[in-house]
Structure 1
């Protein structure tokens, strides 16, 4: 059966390749959280655990963990249930939207089944996938509208059963086949439904019999016993369709399932394991060490118990992923999950070299904290592992640091980090430990009302001074340097708070001329020069602003200020002139010969500049754009359709200048992309070429536009303006590139190009042929300082 299915599955992929998901693992990396578990499924060898929008497997024999996420082709939507078909080596993943991903476990091939998702006759709020149950080659899919049947042999949907009164759509939480009947545990006060499994007319609602009344959470058959749980916390044994009450749980169960001949019932604080006669085999509970919420549980053939956990959001406590225990000692837990941050809902990130800082609290575009993560910790990736500081660890040192929203890492001491609390002030972290909260008692960060200090964006200048914005106060701009705080008055241009339009500040940048620019909710762009004390702003049509709501700012490598507003992108070409002529410019591009404004009317959420002066621009709803330095060329446009982005709304973007890796934060997880655009160096001392030697198994050929940096030959640690010549050992010119000419973003499709501090060569010579085996010389010349360096490269083909 398994071999036959594999053949059919391959044919299905070929015939329906539009439903096949792409594996992005060559250039992308996922940074998902696996601490909150939604569901389990297992085989004799593997445990499958579903987190919010990703899955991981645990191999029992080796304790090896493997992740399956959007990097492998999953949708990124919120998972509601999973099921592994051991007979077919297929993992079914159901989502709250009605989408289903099917993963071929042997090779992680992913297909998307969109029949339910696209069904127009079913309201979107009723498409949630609640449960999968396999019987006799069919998978019965419980949903919020009824039951759909999926044929494993034909890999297609069969009938859909609307089993409510009069054929209405009702919620089905779980199904099971017991004897010759299919049973459905229903919500919507529709009790338990039962029908003859061999009845060819199950699409007729009248063929379904109703048992009892009320809402039922689940129903499971074990050997010759049938059990069901009602939402009043009572578990019943069904005998001749009569419900015999067995036990009332102190909490409403959240999950019921059978594994082999055992029944497992999970409540928020306790897991109960029974044999088929309802005799207790094991009981596991939460404890002071693992103060959490249980979500589901399962067991394996070695009598090991696996419990899914979820965080206590109101207390700022994270989940613990999977807790493993044995039947003999069900309270001695081992924590199991892949390494990752505390949460998937990442609000802000900062990436010093080879590190990631992430926070999860925040505010809406109108600076509303309703629905935001009030209490959450801090995640820091360093030395290839995540260091997670939960909220209660911060609370033990610093009182009430809620809505952690923005991050600044001291460039002169990367162990010192400042995190804005949109409510409480500014939090200082030193060597991973929260050491200080700056507020009205020890800084110029004064409250707006009561004790609310609306501290948001911050940035370090080149001298090591920290600039911090604090909303809805007369002096919102604050400077912290050498232990001294100074604040600056904005009332000449912004009304004295509390003005309803003076809600807050979104972004802050500082240039070498000591000019500070910040974005505002309704006053556009505000500029302040420290030396001259000049203050200016621009927000309306007269200054060419499409919206007074400025969301993001970034200086590029030429000193120009890129401005992201709620309704489009703008550039300030000459920041020093802003104080006398505060006008900004839009970018006009030619699209099929027609002049158009770049990103017209788009809500720009993030802008960052890489070492090549290319621009990464995040949007609300349209994904992530990667533009050439002048914005005229779109190098990439990443969305959920062509990348592992879990959603198309970007919260933040940050670039590791050492590696050129781009980190993208969203509300459903963080991913990163290897772009190759590293920062330039001051000299050529550390320039090197890799891989070296180039071996036959290495694919020297880069993609046509050199954007696949996992291929080709790279020359790194270059200065800003270089010329590079590659010759063979006899001195014949093979390839040549210059920083200002040969750029990867060019439409010329060069074989050799320079992107910031890295050059990429695809191994082709001037005649466009792949070079032969041999030793090649690389001559690097800095065109400004006249410094030179020669490297040797061995290619074996």
Structure 2
């Protein structure tokens, strides 16, 4: 202990973490916020749902807030959303049928989020469970779905009514949107526009109480303005219903005609422009190069336009000119995969072959053109299957693979010269490693632990693949999907990038590339604020650096070794209790004892 105490006087390199440092065990989304689909105004805040994400924008202070599973949402991929002003509830509907009921405070900040997996978990519904449209009426939420209309009471978390099989003769019909007059409910369905009475005496669950509204066209959307029914028709424009039938009030060749009512106007999102119609059918057009693939549009009280555009994001002209208000978007997918061809320490190329070429792995010496195919046959590869989806070279020079029926590795030495070559298949849980999973990706991190992506989530194993360190899926983590498409590890930052069908996210591992020396160490987060439940990271270390954390009296609280260039502390002492508030000393020493550094960590209670 004297040696460690002497380090207190040579704290040469202590750098507190930067504000943007992602904590160990922390997640980040890397979604595209340009694929905007829906826009909803709540007081001075505009919520915009994109294909994978949700964000809000406040023009008063030019501020943007991102929402995801990381900060409280329960799913990914919003299909529709709506706001109920009296209860201050924002209802989010996801593509898989899940619902989030968000309670907003007076400043439109999220106060609470209640998951409502009503449709997602229903046992007998069709696979398509999304809500094509959400609309509130008298505090009840009406969901337009593939299987009909669902009426919900969010205040009681209960189903009021369902209108299924409302087509002619009681046939099934998909409902894409609804609108209300004082006495009627209109539904835009796969069998045309249907109408029913809102009278309390009418049983709307009986198909006989739904009548088809005659029309010579197929509507793409409907809306009601001042008790008049409007229909958007692809390639024709906007029609209004009158006593004599339908009247074309705005001709347009646009294939998309999405109608909403906003500020006592019909607001129509066309292919690459927006048109508003007054109750007197006076049209006003909006065009701009940023309007490329408009999906939905509304007006604010000052008649500024707010548009959800599928290519350019949330667009508005509130500042006098059109601009995109979507958050900046970086890489949203792992575009270049490096796990199809790897080069081992001998310079041999390991190439995973697609099924069209027979599958397996081709090992090739570029210098001599000598090569060998490794297959599922014994002594000629011994792969668990010929479907190899990913390759990774670890710190020990072993070539790891992820196949559809297991995970294992090869020892490269002699692979082109010896007769019998068989994959090593680690044993985990009394069976071959992940032999019951379809494994899609594998990557080694600097500490040589193995991340494996599957169709059922993400696994982190010990370096030899025999011990499970962590397991993530969409239910217990911010992963947007259980299906992992690709993995990429950034050794400098310690981030694991995870590509899924529902978007790209990253996880801050407690491992990173080792530093050459201990000249610069970073402790983060620092200080540890009240309520923080994550891990403290110490980075800038050499591999297997010894890290000791003591109080100011020199009493040892925690000790560990780094995974590559990073070590972590879960803020628990040796007794398993959370460390008390105060200042702690972080003492680091290289494994060979040649150099050491120290820093301070503050825990605030």
Q: TM-score, normalised by structure 1?
A: 0.66
Aligned to 2:342: 509
Shift of 1:196: 3.0
Q: Distance in 1 between matches of 2:99 and 2:559?
A: 50
- Among candidates 538, 562, 574, match of residue 715 of structure 1: 538
Shift of 1:273: 0.9
Would the alpha carbon gap of residues 790 and 235 (structure 1) be closer, same or farther in structure 2, given more than 3 Å must change? Answer: closer
Does the aligned pair in 1 maintain the 2:273–2:292 contact within 8 Å? no
Residue pairs, 1:493-508, within 5 angstroms: 507-508=340-341
1:152 and 2:154 equivalent?
Answer: yes
Corresponding residue pairs, total: 569
Aligned to 2:201: 199
Match of 2:340, SS state, is strand
1:647 and 2:481 equivalent?
Answer: yes
Shift of 1:792: 4.3
Would the alpha carbon gap of residues 642 and 736 (structure 1) be closer, same or farther in structure 2, given more than 3 Å must change? Answer: closer
Shift of 1:212: 1.0
Does the aligned pair in 2 maintain the 1:185–1:216 contact within 8 Å? yes
- Among candidates 467, 472, 480, match of residue 633 of structure 1: 467
Would the alpha carbon gap of residues 159 and 725 (structure 1) be closer, same or farther in structure 2, given more than 3 Å must change? Answer: closer
Aligned to 1:503: none
- Superposed CA deviations along residues 169-193 of structure 1, whole A, max 9, x for unmatched, are 21222222212222222232x3332
* Structure 1 portions without partners, runs of 5+: 1-23, 311-318, 349-358, 360-405, 408-456, 458-505, 703-707, 740-753
1:578 and 2:415 equivalent?
Answer: yes
Residue pairs, 1:553-568, within 5 angstroms: 553-568=391-406
Q: Distance in 2 between matches of 1:45 and 1:763?
A: 41
Q: Distance in 1 between matches of 2:462 and 2:279?
A: 65
Would the alpha carbon gap of residues 337 and 211 (structure 1) be closer, same or farther in structure 2, given more than 3 Å must change? Answer: same
Q: TM-score, normalised by structure 2?
A: 0.86
Would the alpha carbon gap of residues 577 and 82 (structure 1) be closer, same or farther in structure 2, given more than 3 Å must change? Answer: same
Q: Distance in 1 between matches of 2:531 and 2:441?
A: 35
Q: Distance in 2 between matches of 1:29 and 1:81?
A: 23
* Structure 2 portions without partners, runs of 5+: 1-22
- Superposed CA deviations along residues 381-408 of structure 1, whole A, max 9, x for unmatched, are xxxxxxxxxxxxxxxxxxxxxxxxx36x
Q: Distance in 1 between matches of 2:24 and 2:253?
A: 46
Deviates more, 1:656-665 or 1:27-36: 656-665
Shift of 1:235: 2.8
Match of 2:36, SS state, is coil
Does the aligned pair in 1 maintain the 2:404–2:438 contact within 8 Å? yes
Aligned to 1:293: 293
Does the aligned pair in 2 maintain the 1:775–1:794 contact within 8 Å? yes
- Among candidates 208, 211, 214, match of residue 209 of structure 1: 211
- Superposed CA deviations along residues 200-229 of structure 1, whole A, max 9, x for unmatched, are 521122222322145333332223433233
Match of 1:71, SS state, is helix
Deviates more, 1:596-605 or 1:610-619: 596-605
1:528 and 2:384 equivalent?
Answer: no
- Among candidates 602, 622, 645, match of residue 437 of structure 2: 602
Aligned to 1:782: 590
Would the alpha carbon gap of residues 25 and 74 (structure 1) be closer, same or farther in structure 2, given more than 3 Å must change? Answer: farther
Does the aligned pair in 1 maintain the 2:46–2:57 contact within 8 Å? yes
Would the alpha carbon gap of residues 674 and 241 (structure 1) be closer, same or farther in structure 2, given more than 3 Å must change? Answer: farther
Shift of 1:629: 1.3
Residue pairs, 1:106-505, within 5 angstroms: 106-107=109-110, 109-125=112-128, 127-162=129-164, 163-188=166-191, 190-213=192-215, 214-231=217-234, 233-240=236-243, 242-280=245-283, 282-287=284-289, 290=290, 292-310=292-310, 319-325=311-317, 332-341=321-330, 346=333, 348=334, 359=335, 406=336
Q: Which has the higher contact order (CA 8 A, sep 6+)?
A: 2
Deviates more, 1:773-782 or 1:206-215: 773-782
Would the alpha carbon gap of residues 247 and 576 (structure 1) be closer, same or farther in structure 2, given more than 3 Å must change? Answer: same
Match of 1:206, SS state, is helix
Match of 2:317, SS state, is strand
Does the aligned pair in 2 maintain the 1:688–1:791 contact within 8 Å? no
Aligned to 1:587: 426
- Superposed CA deviations along residues 449-496 of structure 1, whole A, max 9, x for unmatched, are xxxxxxxx5xxxxxxxxxxxxxxxxxxxxxxxxxxxxxxxxxxxxxxx
